[in-house]
Amino acid sequence: MKIQILGTGCQKCGKLADAVEKAVEASGTGCEIEKVTDINRIISFGVMMTPALVINGAVQTVGKVPSVEEIKELIKNTNKG
């Protein structure tokens, strides 16, 4: 599974990265985490509001920092599907 965090490096993007790390650790699945900071790559996901969370290429949340619980749920759903 591949998780990408889209953000140009503002404070909220850092918060999202922390939350994702916690969620991945708790869920115990092996995940590759990548931070995407290049604005043109961010736009190519169709995202205009950062931070955004992308799992396996699909945009999950935009413009907000979801809680660790919500991220765990998103990871679980992707694993099932």
Partner 1 sequence: MNWKNEWKKLALIAGVFLACFYLPVGTSRFDNALMEAFHLVKWYAREHVLLCLIPAFFIAGAIAIFINRSSVVKYLGPGANKIIAYSVASISGTILAVCSCTVLPLFAGIYRMGAGLGPATAFLYSGPAINVLAIVLTARILGLELGIARAVGAVIFSIVIGFAMHFIFRRESDNEVETRLDLPASDIVRPLWQNALYFGSMVGILVFANWGKPEETSGIWALIYDLKWPVTAGFSLALGIMLVLWFGVKWWKAAATALPVILLALVFPDQPLVAFSVGVLGISAFTSTDKGEAGKWFASSWGFAKQILPLLLLGVLVAGVLLGRVGQEGLIPSEWVARAVGGNSLSANFFASFAGAFMYFATLTEVPILQGLIGNGMGKGPALALLLSGPALSLPNMLVIRSVLGTRKTVVFVGLAIIMATLSGMFYGTFFG
- Residue 31: active-site member: no
Residue 69 interacts with partner 1 (CB under 8 A): yes or no:
no
Query: What's the rounded Cα separation, in Å, for the pair 26 and 58?
Result: 21
Binding to partner 1 in span 48-67, by CB under 8 A:
48-50, 52, 59, 61-64
Contact letters for partner 1, residues 12-31 (x by CB under 8 A)? xx------------------
Q: Closer to partner 1 by CB, 31 or 42: give it.
A: 42
State the pairing for strand pair 2-6/52-55. antiparallel
Question: Shortest Cβ distance from residue 1 to partner 1 (Å)?
Answer: 20
- Residue partners of 77: CB distance under 8 A and separation at least 6: none
What torsion do the CA atoms of 1, 30, 35, 79 make, to the nearest 10 degrees? 30
